[in-house]
Structure 1
Amino acid sequence: MGDIAAMKKFDAIVFDMDGVIFDSERATMYCWIELAEKYGIEGIEKPYLECTGTNDAKTREIMMNAYGPDFPYDEYAKEASKMYHEKYDGGRLPMKSGVFEILDFLKNNGKKIALASSTRRQTVVNQLRDAKILDYFDEIVTGDMVSKSKPEPDIFLLACEKIGVAPENAYAIEDSFNGIRAAHRGGLRPIMVPDLLPADDEMKQLSEAVLDSLNDVIIYFSQN
């Protein structure tokens, strides 16, 4: 797909993972909803959506602010994580449409490919390996490698540094508001492929493009 001569000019692409490569934001939310029903936690969807794109520490902070200092977050998070891994480990995590196509397209056109995920490294590596796409990535930067979570740009800047590409020559593919904010602050060219939340006016302003799927991103890159 796409004539290389007509392609947009860029050197690299930095992918988020959850909600972009895997349908894992939705999978995790279902685990939390199940947990909320079990323990009678009210209105879990709203704070959960605020947590998308952030690391463990930021997620904990958001949940504690939502439910108060007595909320047993660590206990619940451990149970939700166990539930998630039981359901989806071993290559059972659903992938988003167009993942293999866009990775092949970028490799065939000589682009560097990095990953910037707020999830901890071991989980990221396991999931990419189970899905048989680990070898596509030149570098993987994870939430435990930076001190500041998205929406701060640190994870994207480190990814660009590791692949030796200036941020302005890299696209970032994100689904979350915090991820788009982080990519924009880092000087990358953000493309939003919305997952759980549609793009609002802020996201449309911060993104170079808002597209429906990774296949649409291929088409976008193929046009000068």
Structure 2
Amino acid sequence: MIRTVLFDMDGTLIDTEKYLTRFWVQAAKEAGFALTIEEACQFRSFASTYAAPYFAEKYGAGFDYMAIRERRKELMKQHLEKYGVEKKAGVDEALASLRKMHIRTAVVTATDEERTRVYLQQTGIYDLFDEIVCATMVERGKPFPDVYLYACRKMGEKPEDCLAVEDAPNGIYSAHGAGCKVLMIPDLTEPDEDLMEHIDCVAESLLEVPEIVKNWGKENGLEAANGKIEN
């Protein structure tokens, strides 16, 4: 039985991942590095503490991760201030349905608290969640399980009674490692064979989440909720 749904934010609730990768590429180019979109996707939900040494090893000591990251954040901030933050399709409907079902919800994100609050307030959904949990609140961010374990404690729930909704590998590894059920709604990339080992089901949009929660645990319930779901 699913009692609580834990939502990743970037790429799941709001449509920001496409800008994150675009501006990683631009910031790296300004610093003299030819980073591809595919490589930039590896930054998604990847805690900076672990990303910095990873990319230093890959690109050499000249790759100043923190400086490039700050430039990426500046470029992204300028873009979002000009054009606004877009919600993913079905956000409002999914949250309203879950509330009617008395399912509690939380945001579990790798983004810092200030930007998380700004993004959620700008999209009008900040007050629709019972808790907001950021990776900056724990020692280790995604892909480690700490942030999801902390979210479960904050919600007073066992991980196995929580469904994590994620779009990217690092978040999926984090949620799965914490013992949560994992639903992937792909954004920039589809799950590969390895990732499927860490996912309980796959959906096309947030609109499917309430039905999946409703049918979870019923015999053949997942298949009835969504034909694309893999067990």
Distance 2:138 2:125 in 1: 24
Is residue 2:22 matched to residue 1:30? yes
After TM superposition, the score normalised by the length of structure 1 is: 0.89
Give the corresponding residue for 2:101.
109
Amino acid at match of 1:57: T
Distance 1:139 1:125 in 2: 12
* Greater relative CO (CA pairs within 8 A, separation 6+): 1
SS in 1 for 2:132: strand
Give how far 1:218 is off: 2.9
Which residues of 2 match residues 113-152 of structure 1 at below 5 A? 113-152=105-144
Alignment coverage as a number of residue pairs: 216
Give the corresponding residue for 2:146.
154
Which residues of 2 match residues 183-194 of structure 1 at below 5 A? 183-194=175-186
Give the corresponding residue for 1:77.
69
Distance 1:49 1:143 in 2: 18
Specify every segment of 5 or more residues in structure 1 that has no aligned partner in the other structure, as ranges: 1-8
Give the corresponding residue for 2:227.
none
SS in 2 for 1:53: coil
Give the corresponding residue for 2:84.
92
Distance 1:66 1:96 in 2: 33
Distance 1:161 1:216 in 2: 26
Which residues of 2 match residues 38-53 of structure 1 at below 5 A? 38-53=30-45
Give how far 1:181 is off: 1.2
Is residue 2:167 matched to residue 1:175? yes
Identity percentage of aligned residues:
28
Backbone CA RMSD of aligned residues: 1.8
Distance 1:10 1:99 in 2: 19
Give how far 1:57 is off: 2.1
CA contact (8 A) 1:47 1:62 kept: no
Distance 1:12 1:122 in 2: 24
Larger mean Cα displacement after TM superposition, 64-73 or 33-42: 33-42
SS in 1 for 2:197: helix
Is residue 2:209 matched to residue 1:217? yes
CA contact (8 A) 2:5 2:164 kept: yes
After TM superposition, the score normalised by the length of structure 2 is: 0.87
In the TM superposition, structure 1's runs of 4+ consecutive aligned residues that sit over 3 Å from their partners are 36-40
Distance 1:139 1:89 in 2: 25
CA contact (8 A) 1:91 1:131 kept: no
